[in-house]
Amino acid sequence: MELKNDSSSTEDFILLGISSNPQMQKPLFAVFFVLYLVTLVGNGLIILAIHSDSRLHTPMYFFLSNLSFMDICFTTVIVPKMLVNLLSETKSISYVGCLVQMYFFMAFANTDSYLLASMAIDRLVAICNPFHYDVVMSPRRCLLLLLGSCTISHLHSMLRVLLMSRLSFCASHVIKHFFCDTQPVLKLSCSDTSSSQIVVMTETLAVIATPFLCILFSYLRIIITVLKIPSAAGKWKAFSTCGSHLTVVVFFYGSVIYVYFRPLSMYSVVKDRVATVMYTIVTPMLNPFIYSLRNKDMKRGLRKLRDRIHS
């Protein structure tokens, strides 16, 4: 029987944030403000460099520019509100605002994971089937992969938010997190959340595991193909094209799996905050550095963009 909850739609939630220590609020604001600015500037430069250099108009950089755009959207859903709350005494978010934040957070996060899978497919075709690369990774197919990633992610978010909107919140409205994530909000509900937990775990497993398994399969195929290359230089050249992508995958999925693939009874406030900061703030900030520091094409594109700005 569904519990009715008239208060849940009128009362605000309180977001405790990263730390409840009053003396830590301003230092944390300064740190996360700088991280957010670096994320915006770094990912913005990647997008501009790719779009301004015709030599970077390839499937790999098409997906990278969209990944950078999603990272900007991803962090913007969370960080500005968190920064406001760090300087505010109330630290509140409305019920509707909480659901909206949850929707867009999951939509952009899942699109990120599907774009990482698309990039793994791109590397798989480039290394294992190079002679048919232009046909397999045609602009039309790349666009379809992008649209499919966005569609699946938004449908997943819609289902999750509809599920959460049916819960009742009768007692505490204090969310022990810095944004409206599924597990902390589920902990507040006075409804029977056992069925919701099963649906959330099953559906999350399907949506997150699909791109992850795709990445895993792609790299297994890549490793098998590369090991057949006779020269050490050839092997290194093939693996070096995957290094940046693999680093981002490890950062992103390592923290995501830690946060979401555990039962609610094992939820730990402090550990989950740290892991969540890793994939919501740190990884999007690091992505531009990871993809540009050891990438000659990207460095050339950034230099070309710098010269255009100066001229």
* Structure confidence by residue, pLDDT tens digits, 134-190: 999 999 999 999 999 999 999 989 988 888 888 777 767 888 888 898 878 877 877
Whether pLDDT at 100 is above 50:
yes
What is the tens place of the pLDDT at every residue in 199-214?
Answer: 777 777 777 788 999 9
Please give the average per-residue pLDDT across 49-54, as a whole number: 89
Residue 194: is its pLDDT beyond 90?
no
Q: List, in sequence order, every residue forming a beta bridge with 13; answer none if it has no partner.
A: 93
- Name the more confident of 47 and 89: 47
Give the mean pLDDT of 13-42. 90
Closest by alpha carbon to 82, among 173, 181, 183, 11? 181
Average pLDDT over residues 255-268: 66
Cα pseudo-dihedral 181, 84, 289, 57, rounded to 10: 80
Q: What is the pLDDT of residue 183?
A: 78
The closest of 186, 163, 199, 177 to 17, measured between CA atoms, is 177
Question: What's the pLDDT at 29?
Answer: 94
Over 90: is that where the pLDDT of 121 sits? yes
Which of 22 and 220 is assigned the larger pLDDT?
220
Q: What is the pLDDT at residue 75?
A: 94
pLDDT of residue 190: 78
Rounded to 5 degrees, φ, ψ at 92 are -100, 160
Percent composition of the chain: helix, strand, coil (DSSP 3-state, to 5)? 80, 0, 20
Locate 90 and state its tokens: 């109330």
Task: Work out the pLDDT band at 236, boundaries 50, 70, 90.
Answer: confident
Given a cut of 50, whether residue 7 has pLDDT beyond it is no
Task: Give mean pLDDT, residues 34-47.
Answer: 94
CA 70 to chain centre: 8
At 221 the pLDDT is 92
Q: What is the dihedral of CA 216, 239, 288, 132, to 10 degrees?
A: -80
- Structure-model confidence comparison of residues 139 and 307, the more confident one: 139
CA–CA distance, 91 with 174 (Å, rounded to integer): 10
Q: What is the pLDDT of residue 160?
A: 85
Query: Which burial class, exposed, middle or buried, applies to 51 when counting CB atoms under 10 A from its CB (0-12, 13-18, 19+)?
Result: middle
| Residue in 130, 304, 152 with CA at minimum distance from that of residue 234 | 130
H or E stretch including 264? none
- At 1 the pLDDT is 34
Residues 35, 48: Cα–Cα separation, whole Å? 20
